[in-house]
Structures are given as C-alpha cells and as structure tokens.
A and B are shown apart, each in its own frame.
Chain A
C-alpha cells in the first residue's frame, strides 16, 4: 500500500512541476522571442509574433491535454474568453475541445477491460480502436453493437479521479493566498472540485442523459443520445451515435446565413428552456458540447457536468429589459441580491447600478423594443460598453460579493454568446423568449 501512496505523492509533485515548468517555459521562449525581435525588421516582427503565439499556444494545448482533468477544464474556459486571447491562441485552445492527446488503441482496449471486465471485441460486433473525439476525461470510440446499432463508447482515462484529486491539491496550495484573503473562497474550490469529480462518474452522466432526453423528446430538431446501460458503468459510457459536425467543421461547410441564424435561434431556445424552465444546464455552452447538421438540427453531447440552480433567470432578464430596479427600493434590493448574493450590504452594492445602467444603455437602450443579438456596433461604443461591464464586475469581485449561481449562469451566458458570435448570426432573442413561454404554456395546458 505504501508504494501506491508514494507513487501518488510523486505524481502530485510531478504535475505541480509540469505546470510550473509550463509557465517558466513560456517566459523563457518569450524572452528569446524579445531578444530576436531587436534584430528583426518591422515586417519580420509581425511574422515572429504570430509564430511565437502559435508555438506558445501549441505548447499550452499539449501540456493541458497531457495533464487532462482539472487543468484542461481551465484550458476550455480560457478558450471562451474571446477578447482576452489573440486569435492564434484561441484556435489552438479550441482544438482542446474535441482533440486532446489521449490513449492509444492498446491502452483504450485495456482500460475498457479494466472497467467493464471484458475486451471491447467480446462485447461489440465492431469497435474502432481509433478514437474520433477526445473528452476532457477520456475519449470516444465508434462501435457497432451485436444488433447492428451504431454507438459511441466513451472510455475514461485510467485513474483520472486520483489525477484530479492531485491537481486540486496543487490548485489549493497555489491559491492559498487567495483563500486566505477570501478572494477565492475555499467553498468555491470545493464546489469546482465536486463538479469535476461528478463528471468522472459516468453513471451520473447516464442519469443526466435520460433526464434531458425526456425533457426534449417533443423537439424534433434536437437529439440527445440514448444510453446503453448494458455496456456502461462508472468509467465507460455507451450511447447511441449522434451525427453532426463540431462548430468549426460546420462553419467550414459555409452554411448559408439562413441556416446559421436558424442554428443560433435554436441554441438560444435550448438555453432559454434550460435556464428559465428546467433550471438545469446540460453543460457549459462551449462548442465541443454541440454537434451541428446541414438542416440546422442540433445534437447535444457531453452531459457530464449538468448544473442545477435556483436563480430565476427569467426574472433577471425582465429586470434587464425593463430596468426593473428603478421601480421601487424593494425591486432594487431584489435585483442586487440576485447579482451580488445575499451578503452584499445594500448601500454599498447599489453603487454598481450606474455601471450596469451605462452598460445597458449602450447594449440595449431603454424602450428600444426587441433585443437583437448580432447587431453591428461602433467599435468605440463597444469598447465603452465593455469598460462599463468590467468596472461593475471588478467592483463585485473586489468586494467578494459573489453569488456563485449568478457567476455560473453569467459564464454560461457568455459561452452561449460566444457560440452565436462564432456563427455570425443575427437573432431576435426577445421573440424567441416569447415563443418559448407561449410553447411552455400550451404544453402545460395540453398536459393538464
């Protein structure tokens, strides 16, 4: 037993060392790049900068992919922050979503046996040894059941649970200062760890799949995979195969504006149903969690980190649309409680309202009718809008008034907007919200 323990210890150290090395490596080559820059002409500079960014981001992708688990999640989150990173880095990080360095055929086969007790060839008619997609915690293989059904088999990387626990040990010690000052509450780290650990349990994912399949069974343009329980366990998950392309692949087929708008509308509708009615999100809306088809239909994949919450997103949207906090002090208190959490002192918290109003005035002026996503905006105005947003967010962060559910939903909302932005779509989101509400009412009436 001692041997196993000590190997885990060294593995935590090794991971810590690799992450440290990653930062050091980037700095090292950045210095080299700066030194060479001095000797290069103007045109050479731009070329070198692009080359450096590509190399650096390839290194980031490689390292994060190799480390898997918690750090890869950070990589995926970074890739959503479209304004923070240069285009080159983003492209490399986006690759993490579907293509991470993974298990070779022999390893995947051995791991299938370790989890299911049998080799894949003893269970399926055909099993493709090459994975077609990488998940943050494993990889997905095509297979055909003995009955001839096409399935996707998700196999977890061996010992990922202990690897993640090690990562969190490093994260906890690295963020000790933040925990001490309270800027990064220990409870928040616990919550992230709990979420990621939940993601390593494929039995839980199978439950989520069943729930969403039931919820979306009336919508013909969305596909949620079916679970094959007889070929699944906590570390292997067999699902019906969902056809479709990733966002990047879909955009490469140059879909028409009409199809892109249709897809964006549907993505928004799915988000609306989940946030306002189910109060559960299937996953962070990042491009790797959806598959797109030429007719505009959508496949939903990766149900490992379903998040349930209490925040009334519909109420919050009404606040934004009608500047509801101006109606009464009670309304103002209610609005601030949603955004800043119950602990924020009212008098102090209300100082963020001017920032919110400035941002909103630019984004969607009061009384200007329906909210459209994708409308063209003057760069100067856009800059002012982002500055107001950042000021408000900074004030919340500095005062440690974080309402975790609101923070999560805002991040998910940003993820959705990033997707819509990538699609280059124009969508009337107010109209969709009205349609969804009417639809829910009708289905309720029919049900009763």
Chain B
C-alpha cells in the first residue's frame, strides 16, 4: 500500500515537473530554459529535479513517451476507427499525434534538432529511446497484422512497422516546416502518401 502511494506521488511529481517545463519551453524556448527555472516553477528543489530527470533531454524523452502512450490509448478507445480501412487508421494515428504536439511545436522543433545528434539520448537509435520505440512499433505492428488478416495488405512482417516509424518521422519533419494555414499541406501529404502506399501494397505496384 505504502509502495503504491509512493508510486502515485512519484507520478504526480513527474507530471508537475513536465507541466512546469512545458510552460517554460513554450514561453522561453527549450534552450533558454534552465533546470533551475523548471524546479522553481514546479516548486521543488533543484536537487529533487535531478532525482527525476537528469537532463532536459530526459524530460523531453518523458514527454514523448507520454504523448505516444496517449496516442495508443486514444486509438484503442476510439471505436469509430474499427471499421476504417488501414490508410485511414494510420492517418488517424499520425494526425492525432500531431494534434497533441501542436501546442508544443517550438519545443518539438528543438527536440528534433537534438535528436539528429547520434550522441543524444533523444536519437531514435539511442539506448534510452529503444524501449519507447519498441512499444510503439509493436502497437503499429498489431494494427498492420490485423490489416493483413483482413486481407487489406499482404504480409509485411516487421518491415511494415519500421517503415511506418520512418514515415512518421518524415511527416513530423514536414509538419515542423509546414507554413500553410492549419498545416493543411501536411494533411494532404499524409493522405496522398498513405493512399499511394496502400495502393502499391495491394496491387504490388502500379496496376495498369
């Protein structure tokens, strides 16, 4: 019972730090925000902050993990998507992720730049981000397996989920640079790519 309460408290502090950090990132930017400012805003000692997150990168990792978990939960609870075809399901997943990230666009941009460095914990190839990646890729593989079982697409094995991961990264890059109103260029690109990909997979290429 005690342990349960401790976990609960830890989770609460995690969330308080994240909330404070996100607010500061939005106001001052990722680079200009200091850990001192974050701890002050979260009303904890700076030393306590380091018990939870060693660096700002760890905070960013936690944030991304939260968002991806949120997407997975949202998808599982969304009954309306059960009947949708695979292109719409994958569209909905990426679009919902982008929708969640929308308020933190600048922060995501900074995280993205950091992630490009192979030494960063945020790099998709880093040891620290592996667990998060694998959980998400397994989730995507489940969806693709269902589409394979329904005869929507041919068997792709693990390749499908990996390809989707890379595709999501590419769309995120486009989204960050997208200057169109409401980021509609990204919507159109996402739609066209997914429709084309499912068309290719179904027909094994251009079906003329």
User: Interface residue tally of chain B, by bracket?
Assistant: 20 to 34
- Judge whether B174 and A3 touch: CB under 8 Å: yes
Q: Does B185 contact A (CB under 8 A)?
A: yes
Query: Which residues of the other chain, A, contact B99 by a CB distance below 8 angstroms?
Result: 110, 113
Q: Does A103 contact B (CB under 8 A)?
A: yes
Of A90-98, A157-165, A184-192, the stretch lying at the interface with chain B is A157-165
Bound-state CA distance A129–B188 (Å) is: 18
Query: Which residues of the other chain, A, contact B80 by a CB distance below 8 angstroms?
Result: 105, 129
- Given contacts A28-B208, A113-B182, are A106 and B188 in contact (CB under 8 A)? no
Query: Which residues of the other chain, B, contact A66 by a CB distance below 8 angstroms?
Result: 195
Bound-state CA distance A3–B180 (Å) is: 13
- Judge whether B185 and A110 touch: CB under 8 Å: no
Q: Does B178 contact A (CB under 8 A)?
A: yes
B177 nearest CB neighbor, chain A only? A3
CB contact list, A366-383 vs B, under 8 A: none
B87 nearest CB neighbor, chain A only? A104
Q: Does B27 contact A (CB under 8 A)?
A: no
- Judge whether A3 and B173 touch: CB under 8 Å: yes
Q: Does B105 contact A (CB under 8 A)?
A: no
- Judge whether A104 and B88 touch: CB under 8 Å: yes
- Judge whether A159 and B92 touch: CB under 8 Å: no
- Judge whether B182 and A7 touch: CB under 8 Å: no
Query: Which residues of the other chain, A, contact B87 by a CB distance below 8 angstroms?
Result: 104
29 A-B contacts (beta carbon < 8 Å): A1-B177, A3-B173, A4-B177, A4-B179, A4-B185, A7-B174, A7-B189, A21-B206, A25-B208, A28-B208, A66-B195, A104-B84, A104-B87, A107-B91, A107-B95, A107-B187, A110-B99, A110-B187, A113-B99, A113-B182, A114-B182, A115-B181, A115-B182, A129-B80, A158-B187, A158-B191, A159-B187, A159-B188, A162-B185
- Interface residues in chain B, defined as those with a beta carbon under 8 Å from any beta carbon in chain A: 80-81, 84-85, 87-88, 91-92, 95, 99, 173-174, 177-185, 187-189, 191, 195, 206, 208
Q: Which 10 A-B pairs have the closest CB atoms?
A: A114-B182, A158-B184, A159-B188, A25-B208, A158-B187, A158-B188, A104-B88, A106-B92, A3-B177, A159-B185
